Chains A and B, each alone.
Chain A
């Protein structure tokens, strides 16, 4: 190639040149996009974190009227052994007037044989308002409705974990859990 080659390129040549540049730029941009994927994906839960995302809990040790609290992957969950009065309070209240209407049975998971054990309530332990952990029977405060009370912004939950008063928008969520035996539940994230 030398400077004497400098003639006006014809139309076809012009198009071919454009095509090569566009192809090169497109291939570079496409590659950069693909390379970005691992760098985004690496922030997702790692293998060991995912593996620690379920827990089997023996419910036979929960005292009547009390609860135990477990952490799964750092998230709190409540397992409450409800008294007959607490169950009655949860079942006999008309949910239609609640902020987030749900019957008590809708908030339970049946055993493998299809029956329910209303004495054991399993809920998430994070207030649906801004994620504080509500206090319960063990902390000496159960709020106006006998369930839990969130001290951060004053949300009151009933004995079925349903929001009854305060800023929280919805009931304490029921986690994904199953009955391994009548005495053991397995909670998964």
Chain B
């Protein structure tokens, strides 16, 4: 959002404050190399292929723990969605969307004539299947941690700049230090996982609590687990989600090589779409609106100059 820096500076200290207050102890999230196309001014759009692949990653990896209750299968085939096709302006008729929906068996909101619950394959109008029947079940299955709903996760992270949320998802998924984890036997006989840091000020050992995973992009506090200088504890915190995307975790239908970075980028782009499915429409309306307003301002400027030309003011 480079265009907006001057505007925000115009708001002066306020903008400064907004970025300062939320810095926290986590490392600043970053976009993949080359940045996000969709965040580009004046008319950047999502990469449809990437969103499609990202849906595959969501479906095969994330969906087992994370729901997306604000999305319906039909959304995938609506304009701007990953499986939209000009042939099927009504997403309910889109065979691709129908096939995807039918893969999921859901609980019909309406019981049968005896009042018994009905399980049936989903149709495009149904919302995404929830992985757990309720929050308690979700927490019980995840060691007490609640996997957040991902419907608007890209809007719920960062500072509201276009791409902040996607950068967070990308950084988090690629930011695990699992290749640096070492194991030693602990006092109670159980193994202890730890990471050794030797990076400028940050010298010491960070012990990973059981069932949690260190990530520099996750907001938290590492001091209690850190045996080095507490003034230079590592960025980030510990989260209950293990690294999910080792190379080759999914086999992409389109043949793209499924590296960690590629999968993280794709799923971030899918979630970016899911958080604001109408962003494509927004971006395509943006430039014409701006051009119209600028031209109108120029016309009014000349009109103003003519009307005032004989008046000293």
In the complex, are there CB atoms of A and B closer than 8 Å?
yes
Q: Which residues 34-90 of A have a CB within 8 angstroms of B?
A: 47-48, 50-52, 54, 61
CA distance A21 to B305 in the complex (A): 11
Q: Is B92 an interface residue (CB 8 A)?
A: yes
Partner of B296, one of A6, A24, A54, A61: A24
Contact B296 A5 (CB under 8 A): no
Residue of B nearest to A25 (CB): B303
CA distance A31 to B290 in the complex (A): 12
CA distance A50 to B92 in the complex (A): 10
Contact A28 B296 (CB under 8 A): yes
Taking the closest CB of chain A, its distance from the CB of B237, in whole angstroms, is 37
Partner of A6, one of B75, B124, B306, B310: B310
A51 touching B295 in the complex, CB below 8 Å, given contacts A20-B303, A21-B306: no
Residue of A nearest to B288 (CB): A34
Q: Is A2 an interface residue (CB 8 A)?
A: yes
A-contact bits for B112-147, CB 8 A (1 contact / 0 none): 010000000000110000000000000000000000
A47 touching B310 in the complex, CB below 8 Å, given contacts A24-B300, A27-B299: no
Q: Is B72 an interface residue (CB 8 A)?
A: yes
Residue of A nearest to B295 (CB): A27
Identify which of B90, B91, B302 gathers the most chain A CB atoms within 10 Å of its CB.
B302
Contact residues in B for A17 (Cβ distance below 8 Å) = 306
Residue of B nearest to A47 (CB): B78
Q: Is B74 an interface residue (CB 8 A)?
A: yes
Q: Is B4 an interface residue (CB 8 A)?
A: no
Partner of B303, one of A3, A24, A50: A24
Q: Is B231 an interface residue (CB 8 A)?
A: no
If over half of B's interface residues share one DSSP class (helix, strand or loop), that class is named, otherwise mixed; here it is: helix
Taking the closest CB of chain A, its distance from the CB of B77, in whole angstroms, is 11
Taking the closest CB of chain A, its distance from the CB of B123, in whole angstroms, is 9
Contact residues in B for A20 (Cβ distance below 8 Å) = 299, 302-303, 306
CA distance A6 to B312 in the complex (A): 11
CA distance A61 to B114 in the complex (A): 12
Contact A5 B310 (CB under 8 A): yes
Q: Is B309 an interface residue (CB 8 A)?
A: yes
CA distance A122 to B150 in the complex (A): 42
Identify which of A28, A51, A52 gathers the most chain B CB atoms within 10 Å of its CB.
A51
CA distance A27 to B91 in the complex (A): 37
28 CB contacts below 8 A, A to B, read A1-B309, A1-B311, A1-B312, A3-B310, A5-B309, A6-B310, A17-B306, A20-B299, A21-B303, A23-B299, A24-B299, A24-B303, A27-B292, A27-B295, A27-B296, A27-B299, A28-B296, A31-B292, A31-B296, A48-B125, A50-B90, A51-B72, A51-B74, A51-B92, A51-B124, A52-B125, A54-B92, A61-B113
Chain A residues at the B interface, C-beta cutoff of 8 Å? 1-3, 5-6, 17, 20-21, 23-24, 27-28, 31, 47-48, 50-52, 54, 61
Chain B residues at the A interface, C-beta cutoff of 8 Å? 72, 74-75, 78, 90-92, 113, 124-125, 292, 295-296, 299-300, 302-303, 306-312
